[in-house]
A and B are shown apart, each in its own frame.
Chain A
């Protein structure tokens, strides 16, 4: 029995944390947030650290690690509200690793693992997030239709697109009939776009079946849960730190029992959920019977918790918490992304068998 991170995992998490604190401190974070666009410099630095290919096979230039390792990175990125295309890129790579032919893997994975090429996933449609709700047909080697909320679609070299028949297809940048309309997303650390296809040439991922697509969804849910845990835990830290320095009535507000209890409640909501997202990530690779259930449960639970604790953190900060210049607003918006992307908590719970 050892439900703990290995020394290597802890060390890697610390490395990523320090890297982000150096490269993306609050001032830079606010700059990038205001711009709301892809920042190739920050992303390339992340790729140099190895974040682009963590769970991709070693044979194709990845690090061959597991979902828990990928999730630990997602947690750390969440804790620093790090802007960038990590989520969509990681998912696209996994989809190709699981569903691609040898030729497709050989062609794309090394470039995705190194970060030389940027990829993303196009999943949601007007009908919904879940594969059974997709209507985009891939018959005849071309796509016609629309996908929404595609992370960093404007900058991606490659899109992995979900199809109505339970398959996946690849569409390259500049393909005929491909249009990208940037969305005015609330979370400006993760830019999104609506992607239109009009008889757009697409290449099917040859091995992508229903099972691969469902696994892709579960991977997305685990990574969102991890991101939400990181962001939520950081919110608790920010609220506690602020309550220690902000003085009113001649004393730190954290001495007032009303504030103290609010902070204790926030911590109690978040800290135990670390175990839940860890288990969801662990089950993803090691406990097949639990994988889908715990991915959905973890995403639902953490998305709810993050959103609420981010709201509480605004409240603890008072007026300053309600300003654009306060870091907390960025976390609040990350929480909104984690809440809704890939289907909100109620939607996840509806899918769980009781």
Chain B
């Protein structure tokens, strides 16, 4: 694929053939070498061919091949002439990350670390086929779909303040539970309040290094050794089913002929089906917010029980990294509403945006980038330039470079556990094979991903976090 170097870490796929706009890749030479191994660039080019796409089809530094859209893809569409595509959001709608801070230092918890992790493992259901603690009625489920984390807080899971520190304040107002199929609801009933499996995890972390004192202080991150908790999960089977249902419905209604990949299927944003998907997707987003809200509550409970208090365990923020949203952006010199798709990409708004809670409006939005299991994670802050560069978006994690199959062939879960233990990191999982599949060597170097984000200006470094206890689904 022909790539033109624009400047350091920025590469363009020039507009050609059916492309309506160019594609722009944010990657160092090293990350680009990985990206070239799979279909990421072809997929970014395919996205650039969709009707109503604005400015560019963007590729984030952690990008890898998806289906239809690349993972790490950002694309914004005109509301009148553009489309909405379930494949541009991904199957795990509102897969995202929540970060809690605390007043504890690593040395305060060292002796109780094993116990903390074991208790969290007991309280937070995880793994494939593992149901939640409560059997919901359909009526309650629909309430959760309409109200997201608000429902959870009203029902005793966490604090009102958590909502302010959640993207969309924990609830997308456009959600319509009646836009979901019975199958989606049926999958949602047993799984609320569960972590799931695959790359989803819960980590007790400590701050290794603060890289931007001012922003860190605004986010309640004070210095090295401070204990944090990171929760990475999504909307579970309910969200997967919403994506599956609407891919089918849109294919049947608008056809798939002429699409280079059937997963690029889409509907005009203003069409009945396009709007219905947006309302269903929003409901799945709310389910995921409620899910992370409940898990965060249980984590605080465990800290309180094991350590005597959940000292200062405030929420830093909660971000979505698989979502489509209507947002205002400047294109061609004027401010317009666009439907921004972020698939494996995190919103990264700079200071002043109305979407950011007041407490953070002067600093910018916290951006949470989870690393792979047992490696570093990062806290970043959104920038004003990112709006120009990527519709206010940056990376979402490390991004895989090795297949699960290959990882299983090369690694043993028990071996990984022992290696982590030697580095002072506890690990709990429902499956050793699952641990092997998620070996950190199967992922890109997250340090390199965030370095590019920082240098290009997509999101700036605030703190480097390292795990002390890992729970994998």
A binds B: no
